Chains A and B, each alone.
Chain A
Amino acid sequence: QVQLQESGPGLVKPSETLALTCTVSGGSVNKYYWTWIRQPPGKPMEWIGYIFYSGTTNYNPSLKSRITMSVDTSRNEVSLKLNSVTEADTAVYYCARDRSAWGSFLDPWGLGTQVTVSS
């Protein structure tokens, strides 16, 4: 059974770079799309974007200028970097697996990791 685990610093200072890792266990990152989603407090979930195991990406235009996603197939990990963070980036960040680039669904998800942006 595939399980995902997000990890990263719980606290990031404004203007710094947020770096998160999603570790995949019980399966391989190969052949799948890996999606990042976040949920700010009291707000809807926001689709951040996805990366295919080959490295192809598709980012939310609202975040595109600040995002970098990467895949490490040898470590079975997916990473998200978000630079120049502000308090508006405070959220629970989730990673999830998708089977295709369009028209599919997210399964499974990780538990999520809380990230707070504060000085």
Chain B
Amino acid sequence: DIQMTQSPSSLSASVGDRVTITCRATQSIATNLNWYQHKPGQPPTVLIYAASIVQSGVPSRFSASASGTEFSLTISSLQPEDFATYYCHQTFGFPFTFGQGTRLEIK
């Protein structure tokens, strides 16, 4: 199975901060990498698909990039509604796998 190592596992930040979350795959997954946001009491929602394509309706402060087997999600200026858990998800190799999640908390 392709393992996705996501870091950090938790992150404390303030409104207005710029934060980056990283996922590293144990082998090449091309650009088959998605990022989801999960808030308590709500379904997870897709933010980014195909490594860097921002899903329609997602604020422009969210961006993502890829370099080899390392993938990054960046929030340029944290807003109160961004405090949530974020997951990466590879859809290159079966079984598809997820990162462990990053819990983004308010400092």
Query: Chain A residues in contact with chain B, CB under 8 A?
Result: 4, 37, 44-47, 49, 58, 60-62, 94, 96, 102-112
Residues 40 to 87 of chain B near chain A (Cβ within 8 Å): 41-46, 49-50, 55, 87
* B-chain residues with CB within 8 Å of residue A111 when the two chains form the complex: 41-43
**Besides A4-B43, A103-B92, A107-B55, 15 new A-B residue pairs in contact (Cβ under 8 A), listed by A number:** A44-B97, A44-B98, A45-B89, A49-B95, A58-B94, A94-B44, A102-B91, A103-B30, A104-B49, A105-B34, A105-B91, A106-B89, A108-B43, A108-B45, A111-B42
Q: Which residue of A lies closest to B36 (CB)?
A: A106
Q: How many residues of B contact A (CB 8 A)?
A: 25
B-side contacts of A104, CB under 8 Å: 49, 91
28 A-B pairs whose Cβ atoms sit less than 8 Å apart in the complex: A44-B87, A44-B97, A44-B98, A44-B100, A45-B87, A45-B89, A45-B101, A49-B95, A58-B94, A60-B94, A102-B91, A103-B30, A103-B92, A104-B49, A104-B91, A105-B34, A105-B49, A105-B55, A106-B36, A106-B44, A107-B45, A107-B46, A107-B55, A108-B43, A108-B45, A109-B45, A111-B41, A111-B43
Residues of chain A within 8 A (CB-CB) of B95 are 47, 49, 60-62
Residue of B nearest to A107 (CB): B46
Distance to closest chain B CB from A83 (angstroms): 19
A32 CB to closest chain B CB (Å) equals: 15
Q: Is the CB of A44 within 8 A of B55?
A: no
Cβ contacts under 8 Å, B97 to chain A: 44, 47
Residues B98 and A105 in contact, CB atoms below 8 Å apart: no
Among A4, A46, A60, A103, chain B packs the most CB atoms within 10 A around the CB of A103
